[in-house]
Amino acid sequence: MEIVELKNIKKSFGDHVVLKDINFSVGKNEVVVIMGPSGSGKSTLLRCITFLEEPDGGKVKLGEFNLQAGLPLNKERKNMIRALRQNTGFVFQQFNLFSHRTALENVMEGPIVIKKMDRQKAKENAIELLSKVGLADKMDHYPAQLSGGQQQRVAIARALSMKPMVMLYDEPTSALDPELVREVLLVMKELAKEGMTMIVVTHERGFARDVADRVVFMEDGLVVEEGSPEKMFGSPVKERTREFLQDVGKEGR
């Protein structure tokens, strides 16, 4: 069953066409890794899925939510977009934790403000999620008192607090010191094992190999090729895919 379906997604900034015509879908429990050179439109694609950037055209489907892009923004559409966002967990390269709130409060914020959850219940859930990412002992720390890896794990817990249908990660480990990358990838791997549906933009080849069900290679605003990690890293059909994925491999961890 498909959870996310993108149809003919197009996006330009001024006269710079960033996404030309993207079609792809992600099934329940599936982990899709998106790779591609800088500027190929990976972040823009993720952001279009939750309308952080509104696509110029196309359709986004998430579970039962169906949104046609490029229509005027009235109240009903705003509500639709918010419903869509409440069901996707977005993890940013720069973590973007709320810097005036503790780790615990960060994870409680969404359920309390958006879902109007009872404070005590939100707290219990948040503690559970922080334990899951291995940070229950740091719950009273503010973001500035945590390492990058810890911040990103709190950010993952915060995204999970809304019980999303799908998690979207935009280069979740690119801003981290090398020794902190592993702890974040481990948490993500654990989530994948539990059956969380995920779309991950990353350059981590090892993660893609171990965890991805499918690797999507993007270039110049198009999906050039997609397939299993074995196929994509082993014997991709397209010359460009081979060049790029092998380059990534050489830098690789």
Ligand X SMILES: Nc1ncnc2c1ncn2[C@@H]1O[C@H](COP(=O)(O)OP(=O)(O)OP(=O)(O)O)[C@@H](O)[C@H]1O
Q: Which residues bind Mg ion (CB under 5 A)?
A: 43
How far apart CA 182 and CA 188 sit, in angstroms, is: 10
**Residues in touch with ligand X (CB under 6 A):** 13, 18, 36, 38-44
Please report how many Cα atoms fall inside a 13 Å half-sphere around the Cα of residue 9, on the Cβ side.
30
CB closer to ligand X out of 13 and 98: 13
Q: How far is CA 6 from CA 26, 172, 173, 175, in A?
A: 9, 22, 25, 28
CB closer to other proteins out of 78 and 193: 78
How far apart CA 163 and CA 174 sit, in angstroms, is: 25
The secondary element (H helix, E strand) that includes residue 157 is: helix 148-160
How far apart CA 147 and CA 154 sit, in angstroms, is: 11
**Residues in touch with other proteins (CB under 8 A):** 50, 52, 78, 82-83, 85-86, 88, 90, 92, 94, 96-100, 109-110, 113-114, 142, 144-145, 155, 158-159, 162
Residue 113 interaction partner, one of ligand X, Mg ion, other proteins, none, beta carbon < 5-8 Å per kind: other proteins
Q: How far is the CB of 253 from ligand X (least distance, A)?
A: 17
CB closer to ligand X out of 133 and 215: 215
Residue 40 interaction partner, one of ligand X, Mg ion, other proteins, none, beta carbon < 5-8 Å per kind: ligand X
Tokens 């993660």 — which residue? 207
Residue 236 interaction partner, one of Mg ion, ligand X, other proteins, none, beta carbon < 5-8 Å per kind: none
